[in-house]
A and B are shown apart, each in its own frame.
Chain A
Amino acid sequence: MVTQAQTTIPATEPQSEPTLTYQPNVDICDLGAEVLLVADIPGAHAAGIDVTFEDGVLALRAAVPPRILPGRSMRQEYGIGNYRRSFRLGDGFDASQISADYKKGVLTIHVPRLAAVRPRKVEVKTA
């Protein structure tokens, strides 16, 4: 069964956050046994990253400390702020086995499927 991934708007988020919040660019690939979610969150520190999975919704939040560069602005093509994004992954995932690692500004989340719903190849026997 194909997992449908879609963005969801968290309704319970507090609106008064100290800094701006951005949606990170994300790749989601389904490897069968697990779904891999890869997010670009440059500037975040591992300690400030929060990943939760609840009711089929995978949410990631990352706090980014402000970066102050000297001088006056000549060009500003992106903003610096926290990251937040969530996806509805549906049922059939093993929440207790979700793992995440952060390296070089990229957060990789492994969401394994429950063994019962993993795709498996059925051997066809000849009589």
Chain B
Amino acid sequence: MPILRPGFALPFEELRDELDRVWTTLTAAPPVPGWGTRPAEGVFPAVVVRESDEAITVEAELPGLDADDVEITVAGDELLVKRSRPETCPVPPASGRTGDGDGDGDGEKQERVMWHRRERGTGAFERRIALPVVVDASRVEARLVDGVLTVTCPKAAECQPHKVAVRSV
């Protein structure tokens, strides 16, 4: 007959703790739709979002844009990036399409443009990014280097983890 030792139930307790941990993670995780997936077709710009204890960092690829070309708005737990992306070719958009090259009456300088490939999107864009926590809008910093936008959003004080001191009586 086995002897019931004091530590017998330990493996089951560990298993229960592990299941509790998994369940808590699933139910308490911030709602971040589309985690780890590509954005839908036509969504611009694509983003990378990372979370540390102090801040949420959002990175977006915005090639061809100046800092003045990007408008960033932060409100609560939402980040909005918008503005417009310029055309590729230095010609009027109305004459930039294939097949309308006869520039009669539009002057000698108008060039005939034929597109072989158009993969880069142009024009107005707007992207709303749901942040997992409320951030301190007054301390948000953004920089645009080599077409890569990095927005650092410090978490609001009430959302930052803080250590609780335990007093011994």
Contacts and interface: CB of A to CB of B under 8 A. Distances in A.
Interface of A: 2-5, 25-32, 35-36, 38, 40-45, 67, 69-78, 104-106, 119
B147 A42 contact: yes
Interface in B1-54: 30, 32, 34-39, 46-53
B38 A27 contact: no
A69 B65 contact: no
A42 B48 contact: no
A25 B42 CA distance: 13
Contact of A27 (B52, B62, B119): B119
A26 B51 contact: no
B77 interface: no
Given A29-B114, A30-B114, A36-B88, A75 B36 contact: yes
A26 B146 contact: no
Contacts of A31: 89, 91, 111-113
Contacts of B36: 73, 75-76
Task: Among B52, B56, B118, B147, find the residue whose CB has the most chain A CB atoms closer than 10 A.
Answer: B147
B93 to A, nearest CB: 12
A26 B119 contact: yes
Interface size, B (range): 35 or more
A78 B61 contact: yes
B117 A67 contact: no
A36 B117 CA distance: 11
B66 interface: yes
A69 B116 CA distance: 37
B22 to A, nearest CB: 17
A69 B70 CA distance: 21
A106 B35 contact: no
Contacts of B116: 3-5, 28-30, 35
A74 B59 CA distance: 12
Contact of B48 (A3, A36, A78, A119): A78
A122 B55 CA distance: 65
Contact of B117 (A26, A72, A78): A26
A32 B49 contact: no
- 8 tightest CB-CB pairs across the interface, nearest first? A105-B147, A71-B52, A42-B147, A105-B63, A77-B46, A75-B49, A25-B119, A28-B116
A70 B53 CA distance: 9
A41 B63 contact: yes
A72 B115 contact: no
10 contacts: A5-B116, A30-B116, A31-B111, A38-B120, A41-B63, A42-B62, A72-B51, A73-B48, A75-B34, A78-B61
Given A30-B116, A42-B61, A74 B49 contact: yes
